[in-house]
Amino acid sequence: MISETLQKAINDQITAELWSSNLYLQMSFYMSKDGWDGAAHWLAKQAEEEREHALDMAAYVIKRGGEAKVSMIDVVPEGWGSYAEVFDNVYKHECHVSELIDKLVDVASAERDKATQDFLWGYVREQVEEEATAAGIVEKIRKAGDAGLFYVDAELGKR
């Protein structure tokens, strides 16, 4: 059985994952409007991935005898400026999500719930990858410059 404290913390993370999904979906729309189809595709895939995280966490809570809930999801921003600024925001957001996951692991540890700690370590490892991927994209954009954005965009479209 999952504790009420941990159930609430995971439900808060479910809501955060869904907000992240909406954020990336809105970013996808933003990039698509400007004709950056590769970035739009990459961001749409990222939105799907964040939604899958929420569904996976909900299934875990239910499996442990708890109740999965989605709280109100705040509105996401609608504009970010340049191509580089979009991905700077992606990287910053992934760092923020890493902090949220770390805090969630701390709650599981405080609750002495080893099963949940083990479950969450998968997200810790995945966040390391997501941060590294976002940082790599930011670096490629920086190195490519304006003329190289077409190449970066084509690469992002391969996801």
What is the residue-averaged pLDDT of the chain?
A: 97
Each residue of 92-106: pLDDT tens digit? 999 999 999 999 999
pLDDT tens digits along 36-90:
999 999 999 999 999 999 999 999 999 999 999 999 999 999 988 999 999 999 9
What length is written for the chain?
A: 159
142 token code pair: 């920086």
What was the pLDDT predicted at 135?
98
Ranges of H-type helices in the chain: 4-33, 37-63, 83-110, 114-156
Contacts of 158 (CB under 8 A, 6+ apart): 38
Domain 4-156 CATH (choose: 1.10.260.40, 1.20.1260.10, 1.10.10.60, 3.40.50.970): 1.20.1260.10
Please give the pLDDT value at position 111: 97
Number of CB atoms found within 10 A of residue 88's CB: 18
What pLDDT, on a 0 to 100 scale, did the predictor assign at position 106? Answer: 97
Rounded average pLDDT over 4-17:
98
- Which pLDDT score is estimated for 156? 97
Kindly tell me the burial class for residue 22, based on how many C-beta atoms sit within 10 Å of its own C-beta (0-12, 13-18, 19 or more).
Answer: middle
- Share of residues in the chain with pLDDT > 70 (%): 100
Each residue of 93-112: b (16+ CB within 10 Å) or e? bbeebbebbeebbebbeebe
Query: Confidence band (pLDDT; 50, 70, 90) for 24?
Result: very high
